[in-house]
Amino acid sequence: MTVSDESCETKKTRRPIWVRRIEILVFLGLLWLFFILTGRALCTIAIFQISELTNTKITTSSVVFNLNGSVVIKGLKVRPEEKQTYDDTILTADRVYIRFNLISVLLRNPQLKSIIVKDFVLNAQQNVDTGQWNVSAVKLQLPKKDGDGQIPSVRLKRGILQYSKMSKGLRKTIAAVPINAKFWSAQELIGGYSFDVSTAKRADSEKSTLFGSWCPGTVKVWGSISSSDLPAFERKWWINSMNAELTYDRSNTYSLQLDISDMQLKHMPISETSIFAKPPFLQKLSAVSAVQRFFDRHDARGQFDVNVKAWGNLTELNKSILNGRVNCDNVSIIDSRFPYPLDNITGLIDFTEKSVKFSNLRGTHNTVEVAINGIIEGFKQKHRLRIQISSDNLILDDDLYNALNEKQKQIWSTFSPGGKVKANFTIERKSPTDIRKVLEIYPLGANATYRHFPYPLRNLTGKLVFEKGGVTLSNLVSQVGRQKIILNGKTTSTGTDKPTYNISIEASNIKLDSKLKDSLSVEQNQKVKEQFEIINKYGQGLIFLTGRIWANQQKNPNYQLTLGTEGLEINEELFELLPDKSRKFISELNPKGKINYSLDLNKSSDDKQFDYIVVIDLLGNSINFESFPYPLRDIRGSLKIGTNNIKLENITATTADSVHLAPKSSKITLNGQIFLVDKVFSNASFSLYANDILLDERLGLMMPEDVEPFYQKLSPTGLFDLNLGNISVFTSDDGEKYIDFEGFAKFKSCNFNTTPAITELDAIFKTKGLLKTGFGLSNGRVTLIADGVRISNLFLNDLSADMYYDPESDSWLTENLKAKCYNGKLGGTFGLKIPEDGNAEYLLQIGFDDIDLKEFLLEGKRKQILSGRAEPDEGGRIEPSSGKLAGALSITGKFNDSVSRIGRCRLRITDMKASKRSTVGKVLHELEVTEAKDFAFRQMLVDSYIKADQLLIKNVDLSGESLALSGSGRLNLKNQDINVTLTARGKRFANAKPTIFQSLTEGLGEGVVRIDVSGNFNHPSIKTKSLPALKEAVGLLGTRRIKNK
């Protein structure tokens, strides 16, 4: 029963099949309606989002929603929002495939996911009349925040990038370039996108391939690109490698780093592509625009590297800060205004927002080398510039002539130049009204023919300056052999119908032949009689007189005359040609030999005064000047004698043959100038340099009278150099003449005959002083710096002292006298006075310390052995005494006068070890001591006086471990004779066999032995004598007897 009930209930709830089918059809219908309505909505949304994304207006032929959820747009057209009266369509595409983000559709906020554009034409169109581009209306905008904030990926396939122009309502296509591009979200950049753009390779250009990335705030681009794909640029170029990075923020502050390697710039003839205006952003960067204008004007082509840094605000590009550099490598240019091509240019162009600098741009025109340097500061109307173009070997040929404009060619024709010159062209602009262009030409043996004096000019030197409206000729000289033509002057109003010429032509040794006749006009032929040239022989030389004479307004003669000689022997007749004062001075020099001589006389004014210049070229002469009695030979140089001065220019000489020459000839160089006032001496300045001058008796004749006797007594030998770069001779208010001098003298291995002898002097004496002529030295200072000097057997090194002259005492005094001596040191003072008789008086006070006695004696010992005055120790060795020497010496006297010598000497030797061959050692030998300690002394003291040749030894005391010596005596410093008496004290030591000294003193406590040392110091005679003990000597006198209480 139960089963029956359930079965009935099932039959009641089951619906018919046809009902279910109706329900399914209704659902499908609703679904189809939803699909249709959603597709239509998505099509509208797709077009709206593309329009919103690009800020443009979109029109289509049809929009189809596919079953796969994509939208297909046919006949797409994108144009600026603001419609023009002409067709300004930016993009047309046959088909556009659009996909939405599925999640955004389900969330009822559809967002574009990808856009694929196929078979499109991207038209970059410029309105030539207004300068506007249609693509400037495109502004990429990020999706609104209610979406996912992402830009859809975009792919452009099989498209054409088309460039066109619109002028007066007519459009013309200029260029079309096949292009493909992609724009997609980059996973490695948070909120960033990547893109790439490529074009097809064509016969006239390379393939452009650019890669990049963009995220809000940063754009990076790298790759290669050709200007053929960007006809908006006026020049054809190819960049092999580019790397750019642009950063910016919401306030439009930006920074740009652009690096371009291997940029090839090529020549591009004028075509339709060059009619585009320059990109606006380049025009806003004045420096970049200036560089571009330079390249445009000069049709630059070749290879470059470019580096640019820029920062500022994108809305004010003209205020950006800029720092860039263009590195030219094998570039060629040709100036449109001066078509003289230059190739192989290298160098740098640096630019900032304020200036462009050309740094040593160097190029060639065939074999001509050209350098370009300069700077442009500021831009537009207020810019300033200074550009210099120079060449050291410019060839005056047809290439250069053809590059000139018509006015420049007229100037060229005036001179008809040819050959090679040094050129320097400078253009300087300080303001719009202050512009100066100067061309300086320095002929390098070039040739020319001056139109108004068509006499051929050869081997030209000098200077020509070309400026606006004129040409200046400065000492333009043509010289071939003895023939000489000089042009000076100026041309003005050049480039006009009536140019003015003010040119003077001086010619000498010109032959009066048909060539000259043809060069002179009728007016000039009438004046040729007033110009003359006389050439004749005088002795073995030539003498000539050239010049011209004319009458002034008072009908008195004016003249320009040149009297000259070549290779003329000096004689008294020649002196008669000189002015009186000059003749006297030259005569006193007593010159011998040959000279070139010229006398220029010039009287071009109406007064009676005339100017003269005498030039004497010395050709290896000799002089014997009484005031300079040092015979000289091979004198060369120039003397220029003018109205008010006498110049000595680079006069060199060597010492005469009569002087004993050094191994290499001495050389003296003299320069100077003597000034005259009213033909009377006023002042003079000289510089004197000499090297390897021999110290001999001839040099003494040059000394002042009060110094010469002293110099002769010194009898110096050796060489010295002299550098007196500043000698001034002047007359004081009281009429006295003074000589102010400063310089130095360097002595090399010099010796002086003094007592003691001074030898091996290598020193520099820096001197400064004032000499009063006829009276001697007024003041002076000398700084002595000596590498080494020997005083008798004492060698000093690193010797220095400051000396000054005291006019009140007529003496030279020293300060800071110090030197090194055998590992020790010494210091003190020295004074020198030179009286009129030349017997110089001196005072020496020195102290010394820590001198190595062994080193000091060793050098003297060697000399004594070599001279035979001493013998070496056993085995041929030299073993002098050793120890440390200190003491003080004070001595005064006259040079080479030992009788006047007087002084005092104190010595102290510590840690002394006497040599067996020394005088002390020989004394010890006589005392028969043999142990080493007997030759060792803790200290030796000597107190002595010096009088004439005698050293009076007041006391000598030696104290050692085993004995002591003391005594006094004298030593003849001249013949080394000694006479000293010593006493020796000591005590008995336990020996197997007592010595004589020990035997004499045995049992006496402290015994005493007298020692007499006499004879030659190196070979003395030594005698000993025992003395009784003091105690026994007192005992011999007896003792007092004591009485018993």
Decide if pLDDT at 656 tops 80: no
φ, ψ of residue 712 in degrees (nearest 5) = -65, -35
Question: Which residue has better confidence, 548 or 935?
Answer: 935
Q: What is the mean pLDDT of residues 503-529?
A: 57
Which class for 177: exposed (0-12), middle (13-18), buried (19 or more C-beta within 10 A)?
A: buried
Tell me the pLDDT band of 992, cut-offs 50, 70 and 90. very low
Instruction: Report which DSSP code applies to 511.
Output: -
Computed over its alpha carbons, how large is the radius of gyration of the chain?
Answer: 55
**Angle at alpha carbon of residue 976, lines to 972 and 977, rounded to 5°:** 70
Question: Do residues 189 and 213 lie in contact, with contact meaning Cβ atoms separated by under 8 Å?
Answer: yes
Question: Which residue has better confidence, 615 or 867?
Answer: 615
Percent of the chain with pLDDT over 70: 72
Q: Which two tokens stand for residue 7?
A: 């079965």
How many alpha carbons lie under 13 Å from residue 374 in its C-beta half-sphere? 19
Tell me the pLDDT band of 542, cut-offs 50, 70 and 90. low
Which stretch, 185-194, 311-320, 324-333, 504-513, has highest mean pLDDT?
Answer: 324-333
Classify 67 as helix, strand or coil.
Answer: coil
For residue 996, give the amino acid letter: I
Q: What are the pLDDT digits (tens) for 568-612?
A: 777 776 666 666 666 776 777 777 888 887 888 777 766 666 777
Tokens 């070549």 appear where?
566
Residue-level pLDDT at 9: 47
Please state, in angstroms and as integers, the Cα–Cα distance from residue 380 to each residue in 322, 362, 374, 809, following that order.
17, 27, 17, 78
| Range in 419-423, 496-500, 1005-1009 the model is least confident about | 1005-1009
Q: What are the pLDDT digits (tens) for 812-863?
A: 889 889 999 999 999 999 888 877 766 788 899 999 999 998 888 887 666 6
**Angle at alpha carbon of residue 975, lines to 971 and 977, rounded to 5°:** 40
Q: What is the mean pLDDT of residues 103-109?
A: 59
Mean confidence (pLDDT) of the chain: 77
| Range in 162-166, 794-798, 898-902 the model is least confident about | 162-166
Q: Which two tokens stand for residue 139?
A: 């502004």
Residues 6+ apart with CB under 8 A from 643: 611, 612, 613
Q: How many CB atoms lie within 10 A of CB 363?
A: 23
Question: Do residues 959 and 937 lie in contact, with contact meaning Cβ atoms separated by under 8 Å?
Answer: yes
Please state, in angstroms and as integers, the Cα–Cα distance from residue 887 to each residue in 202, 848, 849, 850, 892, following that order.
102, 5, 6, 9, 17
Q: What are the pLDDT digits (tens) for 11-67?
A: 445 667 766 666 566 555 555 555 555 555 555 666 666 666 666 777 877 777 665
Q: Which two tokens stand for residue 944?
A: 């002595």
Q: What are the pLDDT digits (tens) for 923-963?
A: 888 888 878 777 888 999 999 999 998 999 999 999 888 78
Classify 156 as helix, strand or coil.
Answer: strand
Classify 91 as helix, strand or coil.
Answer: strand
| Range in 159-163, 548-552, 969-973 the model is least confident about | 548-552
721 vs 689: CA distance, rounded Å? 8
913 vs 495: CA distance, rounded Å? 103
What is the 3-state composition of the chain as percent helix, strand, coil, each rounded to the nearest 5? 20, 55, 25
Q: What are the pLDDT digits (tens) for 208-254?
A: 788 888 888 888 888 887 765 554 444 567 788 889 898 988 888 99
Classify 168 as helix, strand or coil.
Answer: coil
Residue-level pLDDT at 83: 73
Strand pairing class (153-167; 112-127): parallel
Residue-level pLDDT at 128: 78
Residue-level pLDDT at 137: 67
Query: What beta strand segments (E) does 732-872 contain?
Result: 737-752, 758-772, 776-791, 794-806, 811-821, 824-833, 841-852
Question: Which residue has better confidence, 379 or 848?
Answer: 848
Which stretch, 411-420, 919-928, 935-944, 1035-1044, has highest mean pLDDT?
Answer: 935-944
Q: Where are the domains of the chain?
A: 37-186, 383-520, 525-694, 733-913, 948-1045
Please state, in angstroms and as integers, the Cα–Cα distance from residue 133 to each residue in 53, 280, 289, 865, following that order.
19, 10, 20, 110
Tokens 């389900």 appear where?
106
Rounded (10°) CA dihedral 6, 11, 12, 15: 140
Q: What is the mean pLDDT of residues 164-178?
A: 78
For residue 570, give the amino acid letter: I
Question: Do residues 631 and 662 lie in contact, with contact meaning Cβ atoms separated by under 8 Å?
Answer: no
Question: Do residues 290 and 379 lie in contact, with contact meaning Cβ atoms separated by under 8 Å?
Answer: yes
| Range in 141-150, 449-458, 705-714 the model is least confident about | 141-150
How many alpha carbons lie under 13 Å from residue 645 in its C-beta half-sphere? 11
Tell me the pLDDT band of 1001, cut-offs 50, 70 and 90. very low
269: cis peptide before it, omega within 30°? no
Tell me the pLDDT band of 1039, cut-offs 50, 70 and 90. very low
Residue 8: in which H helix or E strand, if any? Answer: helix 2-13
For residue 682, give the amino acid letter: S
Q: What is the mean pLDDT of residues 490-502?
A: 73
Instruction: Report which DSSP code applies to 790.
Output: E
Tokens 């999706």 appear where?
143
Residue-level pLDDT at 781: 92
Residue-level pLDDT at 91: 82
Buried b (16+ CB within 10 A) or exposed e, 751-784: bbebbeebbebbbbbbbbbbbeeeebbeebebbb
DSSP per-residue string spanning 549-586: EEE-TTS-EEEEEEEEEEEEEP-HHHHTTS-HHHHHHH
699 vs 631: CA distance, rounded Å? 10
351 vs 378: CA distance, rounded Å? 11
Q: What is the mean pLDDT of residues 92-115?
A: 71
Question: Which residue has better confidence, 16 or 373?
Answer: 373
Q: Which two tokens stand for residue 656?
A: 């005469």
For residue 28, give the amino acid letter: L
Strand pairing class (71-80; 91-100): antiparallel
Tell me the pLDDT band of 694, cut-offs 50, 70 and 90. confident
Residues 6+ apart with CB under 8 A from 623: 589, 590, 591, 592, 632, 635, 653
468 vs 91: CA distance, rounded Å? 56
Decide if pLDDT at 995 tops 60: no
Query: What beta strand segments (E) does 334-383 contain?
Result: 342-352, 355-365, 368-377
Q: What is the mean pLDDT of residues 729-754?
A: 88
Q: Please state the separation of Cα 104 from the chain's center in Å.
A: 73
378 vs 853: CA distance, rounded Å? 80
1007 vs 1003: CA distance, rounded Å? 9
Q: What are the pLDDT digits (tens) for 587-597?
A: 777 778 888 87
Residue-level pLDDT at 952: 94
Question: Which residue has better confidence, 444 or 2?
Answer: 444
Percent of the chain with pLDDT over 90: 16
Question: Do residues 159 and 180 lie in contact, with contact meaning Cβ atoms separated by under 8 Å?
Answer: yes
369 vs 374: CA distance, rounded Å? 17
Residue-level pLDDT at 943: 95
Residues 6+ apart with CB under 8 A from 1017: 919, 971, 976, 977, 978
- Direct distance between the N- and C-terminal alpha carbons of the chain, in angstroms, rounded to an integer: 191
Decide if pLDDT at 999 tops 50: no
Residue-level pLDDT at 4: 46
Question: Do residues 950 and 972 lie in contact, with contact meaning Cβ atoms separated by under 8 Å?
Answer: yes
Tell me the pLDDT band of 640, cut-offs 50, 70 and 90. confident
Length of the chain: 1045
Residue-level pLDDT at 977: 92
Residue 186: in which H helix or E strand, if any? Answer: strand 170-186
